[in-house]
Structure 1
Amino acid sequence: MSYRRSLMRRFPTNLQNLAIIGLGFPVIGLNVWVLSQFFRYFEHLITVLTIAALIAFLLNYPVKILERIHFRRLPAIVVVLLITLALLTILGVTVVPNALEQTTELVKQVPEWIRASNENINAWEEWGKGKGLLLDFNVLRSQINAKIDTQLQIIGAEVVGLAVGTLSGAIDTLSIIVLSIYMLLYGDKLWLGIVSILPDRIKLPLSDSLRLNFQNFFISQLLLGTFMASVLTPTFFFLRVPFGLSFAIFIGASELIPFIGASLGIGLVTVLIMLKNFGLGISVLIAAVVVQQIKDNLLAPKLMGEFIGLNPIAILICLLAGGQIAGLLGIIVSVPIAGTIKGTIDKMRQLSLNSFSQTEYAGESVDIEQD
């Protein structure tokens, strides 16, 4: 009898939980769809603002360091901007022209590499026949030939798009630079104005979590990407990898995609090189994986720590959702956004527990004094 009563008492609670879950998923799905439509409508504006905000986040870190050594904010911003401009000029004179030249030549040679891969497939078929294996790669060969035509069309479209979009790209770059400077100068006031409408218990946790997850995360990712590109460039040169500089920079830039970017970049580079030389592709894969393991096991724990604090499954879901909503930009910022939300909630809970503990301690002290 008592078991039946307890079961009846639990039934409304279980039904309420099921109702919340049942209604929650459609609401979340609807919100994701609304966000994706909103982003598509304002895609260009959101992209420019997001890139400018990320640059301001990154540059604000050295500005804060200079402020700690008794620089005023305006001179600190000027010094950081001048140093950044000098570094970009050095890269623009040394690395960028070579990388662009290699990338242009690579794009032209990819169809030839794909054609050459047919010979490798024939060699595998002959090897299989010698071992008594019936290997048929006709389907794969037809797919490769289809890829050739597609690649040639893409190259033509890219050339036309580059000629048409040069002026627009220059305007966007100038807009991003100006917005980044203004965000450095007045971003704090703007942020305080935005969070002023939030309750007091959310303001500080949200600000701290946003700084931790965006500023620290992207600084760490840039440093890790720079390490990958810097180490792989001489490694690929030693292995005599064609277009090694472009491949190394591509793998380093892939590090901006959280947690899986470097692996995807290494995989794509390996496949491309295997089209030309299978053995060289294996060597590139081994070298890149070794460098990646050094980065993941020695550098990443020291730079990144545990400030994201997300479950790996949650990270993959965030990446998929971000890509669905906002494409590549959504993939890049999805994990920091999720980390910001989680960090804000955790800090709010911690503040609530501390406040409750202090209240309880104060109540116990009053009771002791009364006794």
Structure 2
Amino acid sequence: MQSGSQLPRWLTISLAFPLAILNGWVFLQAVQYFQPLVNIFVAAILLAFVLDYPIRFFQKQRVKRKIATIVVLLLTIVLVVALGFTLVPLILEQLNELTNLLPAWIDSGTEQLQALQTWAAKQKLPENLSSLPTQILDRLSNQLQSFTGTILGFAVDTIGTFFNVLLTVVLTIYLVFNGDRLWDGIFQWFPPHISTKVRQFLREDFHNYFIGQATVGAVLAIALILIFLVLKVPLALLFGLAIGFFSLFPFGTGIGIAIVSILVGLKDFWLGVEVLISAVTIDQINSNFIAPRLLGNLTGLNPVWVVISLLLGVKIGGILGLFVAIPIASFIKDVADSWRDGSLKTEETAIADTQE
């Protein structure tokens, strides 16, 4: 009888595939069962991960970690309170204003399309083609009204979940102070050689994605807000921040620019064109000159795997899953590549290979 190590490669893969699918299904059921605790824990880990960088900066300035942690937490609280009293009310106000203005903008878009339809009729174009813009606008208006209502509902729900927010903050503070001991305990279950590599890949992938992508998104948002103010675009702050937020996700920048350009174009077609051109120009400058210096090769993932990762992230964790899908997929790829190249072999395996 053949041992497991002597089985053909194709048979080993065939046996492993259904087991991987079964384990994935069990994992998905466990995540859904323990919601929203899983999202709270993941959000706390991400916040603690981000706060660890300014703490390390203070440590390099020869400040003790405990003092550096307290200083960073106090600065974070001050920043959050300042944003809560300044930026957040403006965003909510402009969201509410967008909801109120949207019907008038749709009416304006309808008038512009009627003018286009009249021109098409004079050119004796086919009737189906001349009525196409009106049909598109009707569907678009319904989708936009539903979209803005969803955003407002999400904002209200987020503000209303005070207990979850409080629990996330408390857990984040605990992880900031005691996170190293927690992770040391977790990684002790791995063989030493594998533990070091896995920990390195995890930190690098999340650093490259969150720190770099957030910086690029912030630069894009600030630049667009300034350009929109110069162009006298209504709700410039909201639209600039919206595109910056969409840029946090792969392929999101184009979607954000398209949505904002359509919204502004409903009010004024030529202003929408100016928004589209200026936003695409700023995005290209940001993507080709600023992003490569900050991000380098962000994930190394094939675009197909990026899309699959995003879909799985949304399925498992909603919006939060969308945030962590790409760095986790990049981490899995790095581990798989290292395993294939043989750099993740345990000491016992390496010795066995040497003896052979």
Report the counterpart of residue 3 of structure 2 in structure 1. none
Structure 1 residue 354: Cα displacement: 12
Alignment of 1:266-285 (within 5 A): 266-285=257-276
TM-score normalized with structure 2 length = 0.84
User: In the aligned structure 2, how far is the partner of 1:353 from the partner of 1:196?
Assistant: 16
Matched, 1:310 2:301: yes
TM-score normalized with structure 1 length = 0.81
Conservation of the 8 A alpha-carbon contact between 2:194 and 2:346: no
Question: Could you list the runs of 5+ residues in structure 1 that have no partner in the other structure?
Answer: 1-12, 364-371
User: In the aligned structure 2, how far is the partner of 1:247 from the partner of 1:92?
Assistant: 19
1:227-251 deviations in whole A, cap 9, x for unaligned? 1111111111111111111011111
Structure 1 residue 329: Cα displacement: 2.1
Which piece of structure 1 moves more, 236-245 or 79-88? 79-88
User: In the aligned structure 2, how far is the partner of 1:135 from the partner of 1:32?
Assistant: 52
Report the counterpart of residue 336 of structure 1 in structure 2. 327
- 225, 228, 231: which is aligned to 2:223? 231
- 91, 107, 121: which is aligned to 1:99? 91
Matched, 1:112 2:114: no
- 246, 258, 277: which is aligned to 1:254? 246
User: In the aligned structure 2, how far is the partner of 1:26 from the partner of 1:353?
Assistant: 25
Which piece of structure 1 moves more, 149-158 or 338-347? 149-158
Conservation of the 8 A alpha-carbon contact between 1:36 and 1:324: no
User: In the aligned structure 2, how far is the partner of 1:46 from the partner of 1:183?
Assistant: 15
Structure 1 residue 92: Cα displacement: 2.9
Report the secondary structure of 2:161's partner residue: helix
Matched, 1:265 2:256: yes
Conservation of the 8 A alpha-carbon contact between 2:205 and 2:327: yes
Structure 1 residue 184: Cα displacement: 0.6
Question: Which amino acid in 1 is paired with 2:104?
Answer: E
- Aligned residue pair count: 345
Report the counterpart of residue 299 of structure 1 in structure 2. 290
Report the secondary structure of 1:351's partner residue: coil
Cα pair distance change 1:87/1:240, threshold 3 Å: same
1:17-51 deviations in whole A, cap 9, x for unaligned? 65556566555554444444333322311111111
Report the counterpart of residue 199 of structure 1 in structure 2. 191
Alignment of 1:117-136 (within 5 A): 117-136=109-128
Report the counterpart of residue 4 of structure 1 in structure 2. none
The two structures, once aligned, show a CA RMSD in angstroms of 3.3
1:277-319 deviations in whole A, cap 9, x for unaligned? 2211111111111111111111111111225222222222212
- 44, 56, 60: which is aligned to 1:52? 44
Report the counterpart of residue 61 of structure 1 in structure 2. 53
Conservation of the 8 A alpha-carbon contact between 2:102 and 2:145: no
Matched, 1:182 2:162: no
- 70, 74, 82: which is aligned to 1:82? 74
Which piece of structure 1 moves more, 189-198 or 139-148? 139-148
User: In the aligned structure 1, how far is the partner of 2:133 from the partner of 2:31?
Assistant: 37
Report the secondary structure of 2:91's partner residue: helix
Alignment of 1:213-228 (within 5 A): 213-228=205-220
User: In the aligned structure 2, how far is the partner of 1:353 from the partner of 1:35?
Assistant: 26
Structure 1 residue 57: Cα displacement: 0.6
- 29, 39, 50: which is aligned to 2:31? 39
Alignment of 1:341-356 (within 5 A): 341-347=332-338, 349=341, 351=343
Cα pair distance change 1:152/1:312, threshold 3 Å: closer
Structure number with greater Rg is: 1
Question: Which amino acid in 2 is paired with 1:234?
Answer: L
- 27, 47, 62: which is aligned to 1:70? 62
Conservation of the 8 A alpha-carbon contact between 2:117 and 2:131: no
Cα pair distance change 1:334/1:35, threshold 3 Å: same
Q: Among all aligned residue pairs of Structure 1 and Structure 2, give the percentage whose two residues are the same amino acid.
A: 35
User: In the aligned structure 1, how far is the partner of 2:83 from the partner of 2:208?
Assistant: 24
Structure 1 residue 135: Cα displacement: 4.6
Structure 1 residue 276: Cα displacement: 1.9
Question: Could you list the runs of 5+ residues in structure 2 that have no partner in the other structure?
Answer: 1-5
